[in-house]
Amino acid sequence: MSDFVDNLNEVFALFGPIQTRRMFGGYGVYHDSLMFGLVADDVLYLKADDKSSDAFSQLGLSQFEYEKGSKKVKMSYYMAPEEIFDDPNEAREWATRAFDAALRARKPGSKKGSKKK
């Protein structure tokens, strides 16, 4: 595991416990068994949806994309703002925003993840 990924536990300490799992050459970032972030090439991306993507776009943060054959596929994850690595309160705010987007996106009837109290 990279030092960058190892450091995410410290970054998100105020948000709560996270887990990371290897996937597709990167890592998934989970809280309460629900993926709210991903790491690719030591860049953190956070889950977004229609309710939260404007917050990322307003800061000029790019959307995660990968190549599938000759096409570029965009996913509902955006680059995390740099401030989260220096400000624990910012990290908690952005992690909560991403986790809430993941909660809204989960399939009905799914028992994974639960609303933070």
- Rounded to whole angstroms, how far apart are CA atoms 99 and 112? 12
The letter for the amino acid at 88 is: P
Q: Is the residue at 111 inside a domain?
A: no
Question: What one-letter code names the amino acid at 50?
Answer: D
Rounded to an integer, what distance in angstroms lies between the CA atom of residue 111 and that of residue 109? 6
Tokens 């908690």 identify what position?
A: 92
Minimal CA–CA distance to 79: which of 23, 39, 21, 50?
39
| Domain limits for position 15 | 3-104
CATH code at position 44: 3.30.1460.30
Note the pLDDT tens digit of each residue in 57-79. 999 999 999 888 999 999 999 99
In angstroms, the CA 63 to CA 77 distance is: 6
For the cut 70, the answer to whether the pLDDT of residue 117 exceeds it is no
User: Looking at the domain assignment, is residue 46 inside a domain?
Assistant: yes
The pTM for the full model equals 0.88
- Counting the structural domains of the chain, the total is 1
Classify residue 99: in a domain, yes or no. Answer: yes
Instruction: Examine residue 110 and state whether it is found in any structural domain, yes or no.
Output: no
The answer to whether 81 and 43 are in contact (CB under 8 A) is no
Nearest to 25 by CA among 5, 46, 6: 5
Instruction: Specify if 117 maps to a domain.
Output: no
Do the domain assignments include residue 115?
no
- In-domain check, residue 61: yes
Residue 113 lies inside a defined structural domain of this protein: no
- Residues 80-112: tens digit of each pLDDT: 999 999 999 999 999 999 999 999 998 776 655
